[in-house]
Chain A
Amino acid sequence: MTAVPDIEFRAVTKRYGAVTAVSGIDLAIPPSAFVALLGPSGCGKTTCLRMIGGFEQPSEGQVLIRGRDMAGTPPYRRPVNMVFQQYALFPHLDVEENISYGLRQARPRLSSREISQRAGEALAMVQLAGYGRRKIHELSGGQQQRVALARALVNKPAVLLLDEPLAALDKKLRTDMQIELQNLQREIGITFVLVTHDQEEALSMSDFVCVMNGGRVVQLGQPSEIYDEPADLFVADFVGKTNLLSGKVAGLSGDLVNVALADGTVIAARKRVPLSRGEAVSVSLRPESLSLSAPGSGALKGIVRNRIFLGSTAEYAIEVQGIGSLLAKADHVIGQGNLFKPGEPVAIGFAAGAPLAFPHAKNNGTNQREDQNAEILP
């Protein structure tokens, strides 16, 4: 394989009447990667996937698959397959017929021996050997999910598209399927594009995460990058848990800014975009970057309001006067266990470089589409 991306978006915009679902996206998805399209409901993820699948045409721009412009190519001529939300399995066909459906469409025709052999392999691949003659409605949700997967993969697509494939499963099954999907991707070696609104899922499964908001791509990177170096306030807030503290830029020193928080405390924070003195900013502090100690030291002082002991960690809700409630997460080391109790005063510290300052409100589309959260089913 050369460096031709499996999927490429060039200035793609998609409008539905007055609604702009996707606006001016440029995106290149490298081959053989597990890519997650992550974003809140209504941000345009499904629309992007459907444009790759050929169910929607871009209003502007081009979608390329393996370097070929797909304009005018109908879904049935595209080298991609999709695992639909709620699977969209054919209720009138049994499991094997569902799986071999795509093989039967192949021209020139495949021999029936080849069809049944490949269908059998696909069944085995998703651990459903022996289920071939079952009716779809006789399967559990997890089994249906795997049939959908096999039905798509049996066609050996260049890219597998998955639209919220795990959303309908319960938590335990979802975790299992996450691992299974990852393994499958590694094994088959084709690109998986997974749409999800679940940031944990995106971070845990994918090689690359493409964070979308308001119809745009706001950040593309490896999961750790996205988590550690969010491109903007929206990403910081949406991916993982974080504390957002508002303040004003009090001074600039090289890569850092000094931010005066609401209670007057001044802390040093890294910045991702140029900031000017006096500008309103939000400072992001991940809960696990906070360290708690007995009163006396630390940048901030507060009182423990609530504690959730989780075994290896403990989460604290800490009330800081003038700033509000902060979430802190502390590792728990066995034997060393003086946990803070609710009502106790604590000092809060953090490593230098942990705080990240973002311009306030500007370029913050977080809630802009809150009212359009409904999933659009075609």
Chain B
Amino acid sequence: MSETGYKPKPDNATGGLSSAGSQPAFPMRGSLFRKNLVTTLLLAPAALWLVVFLVLPFIAIAIFSVGERAPEGGYQAALTFAQYANLPARATAFWNTMVLAPIGALACLLVAYPVAYYLALRAPQRWRLILLAMIVIPFWTSLLMRTYAWMYILGGRGIPALLAYVGIEDLRLINTPGAVLLGIVYGYLPLMILPIYVSLERLDRRLLEASADLGATPLSTFLGVTLRLSLPGVMTGFSLVMILLLGEYLIPTLLGGGKVFFIGNALVDLFLQSRNWPFGSAIAITLVLVSVVVLIVANRISTRLSGARRVDLI
């Protein structure tokens, strides 16, 4: 085979990465530093924002979590891990949440993927922006209001009232698990669609042609190329929705009738009803840790399945 007169090429001479693959071409140290200084200055406001609104509250919550509930409620300084030891008291809530969050995110994904796929790969170019806007714009109004709208649509004077006209009496849609799932899918759909849309939009269409060219049927192209390469978007959307669902309390309360108790509900009750801030804080800290774990796992999966790409949340 090698009698073709082919001369092995010195790859480095042509800028090849074969030997430099592990040490990407960094700029010189000096310029790197200068670049960092500028970057630092540019990022300072954002960093400050982060510190004031994320880090400090987190520290405050962490301090609360090792405190005690004052007799009249609230917080009283102490150094105890009793609150953490008490976490099993909300085990059901944790369990409900850990079951709901992935199921909700999955349901959301199942609806979002075809929509994102249509938008990115099938919709006529000139309609794309309009369709995208139609998906995003409702998101600008508060979730509370949109969920409230669903309360009326599913409530006795909404769909059941219409069904009563055709003789289906006393049908109850509101305050059912289905209503909660619907609310979750509806509420978080844009958050799931957008990252998937972005990753599909970024997808090099020629890869799809290359796949077809190599004999892959549309289905195996979808599975082997489209889906695989959109996984970072899928994982981003999934972890985003999942993490938000970990703290969700509004939708189960409004569309589920408050009969299903999630960690979010436990938090609301502890802060606003029984005013047990230390216990609430311990749960909040735990929730943050769980979220971090979810992100790390999602990132691992995404990295493994699609090469070097990462979940865009990190």
Chain A proximity mask over B173-206: 1 for CB below 8 Å, otherwise 0: 0000000000000000000000000000000111
Contact A170 B14 (CB under 8 A): yes
- Distance in Å: Cβ of A176 to nearest Cβ of chain B: 6
- Distance in Å: Cβ of A378 to nearest Cβ of chain B: 6
CA distance A80 to B17 in the complex (A): 31
Q: Contacts A74-B212, A92-B229; is A173 near B9 (CB within 8 Å)?
A: yes
CA distance A272 to B306 in the complex (A): 59
Name the B residues within 8 Å of A101 (CB-CB). Answer: 211, 214, 216, 224
- Distance in Å: Cβ of A346 to nearest Cβ of chain B: 42
Q: Contacts A75-B212, A84-B209, A102-B214; is A90 near B5 (CB within 8 Å)?
A: no
Contact B206 A105 (CB under 8 A): no
Other-chain contact of B214, A81, A138, A176, A179 (Cβ < 8 Å)? A81
Contact B216 A76 (CB under 8 A): yes
Which residues in chain A, 327-374, are within 8 Å of chain B measured between CB atoms?
none
Contact B17 A90 (CB under 8 A): no
Contact B212 A138 (CB under 8 A): no
Which residues in chain B, 220-263, are within 8 Å of chain A measured between CB atoms?
220, 224-225, 228-229
Contact B2 A84 (CB under 8 A): no
Contact B14 A142 (CB under 8 A): yes
Q: Which residue of B lies closest to A102 (CB)?
A: B214
Does A322 reach chain B (CB closer than 8 Å)?
no
Other-chain contact of B204, A80, A88, A151 (Cβ < 8 Å)? A88
- Distance in Å: Cβ of A222 to nearest Cβ of chain B: 22
Name the B residues within 8 Å of A228 (CB-CB). Answer: none
Q: Which residue of A lies closest to B7 (CB)?
A: A176
CA distance A124 to B14 in the complex (A): 20
Does B130 reach chain A (CB closer than 8 Å)?
no
Q: Contacts A135-B307, A139-B16, A140-B14; is A81 near B225 (CB within 8 Å)?
A: no
Q: Contacts A92-B229, A139-B17, A155-B215; is A183 near B11 (CB within 8 Å)?
A: no
* Residue among B16, B18, B209, B213 facing the most chain A CB atoms (10 A cut-off): B213
CA distance A173 to B8 in the complex (A): 11
Does A27 reach chain B (CB closer than 8 Å)?
no
Q: Which residue of A lies closest to B209 (CB)?
A: A55
CA distance A173 to B228 in the complex (A): 33
CA distance A53 to B212 in the complex (A): 9
Interface residues of A, CB < 8 Å — how many?
Answer: 50
Q: Contacts A92-B228, A378-B206; is A141 near B14 (CB within 8 Å)?
A: yes
Contact B14 A86 (CB under 8 A): no
Other-chain contact of B4, A80, A85, A184 (Cβ < 8 Å)? A184
Contact A138 B4 (CB under 8 A): no
Contact B307 A91 (CB under 8 A): yes
- Distance in Å: Cβ of B276 to nearest Cβ of chain A: 49
Chain B proximity mask over A137-161: 1 for CB below 8 Å, otherwise 0: 1111111000000011001000000
CA distance A131 to B18 in the complex (A): 9
Contact B209 A138 (CB under 8 A): no
CA distance A121 to B206 in the complex (A): 26
Q: Contacts A75-B213, A91-B229, A143-B16; is A187 near B207 (CB within 8 Å)?
A: no
Does B15 reach chain A (CB closer than 8 Å)?
yes
- Distance in Å: Cβ of A31 to nearest Cβ of chain B: 21
Name the B residues within 8 Å of A76 (CB-CB). Answer: 212-217
Does A125 reach chain B (CB closer than 8 Å)?
yes
CA distance A138 to B214 in the complex (A): 23
Contact B206 A138 (CB under 8 A): no
Q: Contacts A53-B213, A105-B214; is A127 near B6 (CB within 8 Å)?
A: yes
CA distance A76 to B222 in the complex (A): 13
CA distance A125 to B305 in the complex (A): 29
| A/B interface sample: 9 pairs, CB < 8 A | A53-B209, A80-B213, A82-B210, A85-B206, A90-B210, A101-B216, A139-B17, A151-B214, A183-B6
B-to-A contact residues, CB < 8 Å: 1-2, 4-9, 11, 14-18, 21, 204-207, 209-217, 220, 224-225, 228-229, 305-308
3 interchain residue pairs of minimum CB distance: A140-B16, A102-B214, A105-B215
